[in-house]
Amino acid sequence: MWRTLFNGNVARPRALVTLWLACHERLATRDRLHKYGAMDTTHYCFCNTEETQQHLMFNCNVTKDIWRKVLEWIQVDHNPLGWRQEMDWITQQTKGKGGRAKILKLAFTESVYEVCRYKNATSFGNAILNQHTHDKIIDNIVYRGWTNRKLRTHIAKLMM
């Protein structure tokens, strides 16, 4: 079902690769790294729970807030849930070929990528990269959407 997220998605190639890894549940989360002996602890850097992909992708209050702010900017009223529920919701919402579906695909892909970057930066103590993650996502949506002439009018409406 997640394959439809890649058709017509104008996100950055590195964001698409990260989304592909997330769809296959192969992100380098602490629980996976601990399973292979590469990490001593499985505790999450934002809260004191186990870091799993399900928790990282929109179950955690920090990452849920990032995704919620991006959705507010796109003018989509949705309360983020866990990874599997979000995948079901996003695949249902992006079935069409319209501009709204393309922007939602782009926003979801860029959000997954930036949440992973944010988590890694926090884990390794790079506090400078952690500020305003949702603004970075929105900037990428505007840039990638504006370079696609079919999405330009939809991006212009969102910026008003």
The answer, yes or no, to whether residue 45 has pLDDT greater than 70, is no
152-159 helix and 133-146 helix, angle to the nearest 10 degrees: 140
The answer, yes or no, to whether residue 118 has pLDDT greater than 80, is yes
Q: How many residues does the chain have?
A: 160
The answer, yes or no, to whether residue 31 has pLDDT greater than 90, is no
Q: What is the mean pLDDT of residues 105-133?
A: 82
Using only C-alpha atoms, the chain has a radius of gyration, in whole angstroms, of 16
What confidence score (pLDDT) does residue 62 get? Answer: 86
The answer, yes or no, to whether residue 86 has pLDDT greater than 80, is yes
Q: What is the Cα–Cα distance from 75 to 46, expressed in whole angstroms? A: 27
Residue 89 Cα to chain centre, angstroms: 14
What confidence score (pLDDT) does residue 37 get? Answer: 67
If you search the block for the tokens 């996976």, which residue do you land on?
A: 32
**Residues of the chain above pLDDT 90, percent:** 51
DSSP string computed for 75-91 = T-------HHHHHHHHH
**Residues of the chain above pLDDT 70, percent:** 89
What confidence score (pLDDT) does residue 41 get? Answer: 65
| Confidence bin at 13 (pLDDT 50/70/90) | very high
What confidence score (pLDDT) does residue 54 get? Answer: 81
Calculate the average pLDDT of the chain: 86
